[in-house]
Amino acid sequence: MTERATSLTADLPAEDAALDALLAERAAAFDPAAASAERGAALFKPQCAACHAIGGVGGSIAPQLDGVGVRGVERLCEDVLAPNRNVDAAFRTVLLVLEDGRVLTGLPRRTEGETLILADAEGKEFAVPAETVLDRADSPLSLMPSNVGETLTPAQFTDLLAYLLDQREPADPASADASAEK
């Protein structure tokens, strides 16, 4: 069975090569005239806002994205399609092996007494009693799904990219406070 799997996959490009090709393809295909930031905003809400915030609206599990548009097309393609390439240490996941055999992954949020509070990929917090942890390993990976290139069509991705590129102003704390009060 192993020989058959090896022969079937022998001519497939390396994962990095396939990802590099996808990044280049999506960046080259971006056409601002055909893209719609409005449609991108509509995609952002269900696809990204559970974790990311713009203008004080959205989740706090991942980096806020005010001003992210200054990164440009190529870097935003990489940020969205290859989220594990440039993970800030503050957003790296932790892997916990528990006494009962379960393995949990999450983003460390805080410690409450003897309880670890982590967040899952949807941004939902969960508690783990510290005494149940047998092993802990920090991961270089992001909680962000690495399959956005598969879940969004090229047209949807272009619209999302247009929306993100429109986010060129850094957050204004006064306006974020005002929008949070609404």
| pTM recorded for the entire structure | 0.75
Handedness of CA 55, 56, 58, 62 (dihedral sign): positive
State whether residue 181 is helix, strand or coil: helix
- What is the arithmetic mean of pLDDT over 85-96? 89
| Structural domains for the chain | 38-83+144-182 (1.10.760.10), 89-142 (2.30.30.100)
Label residue 159 exposed, middle or buried (CB < 10 Å: 0-12, 13-18, 19+). buried
Confidence of residue 142 (pLDDT cuts 50, 70, 90): confident
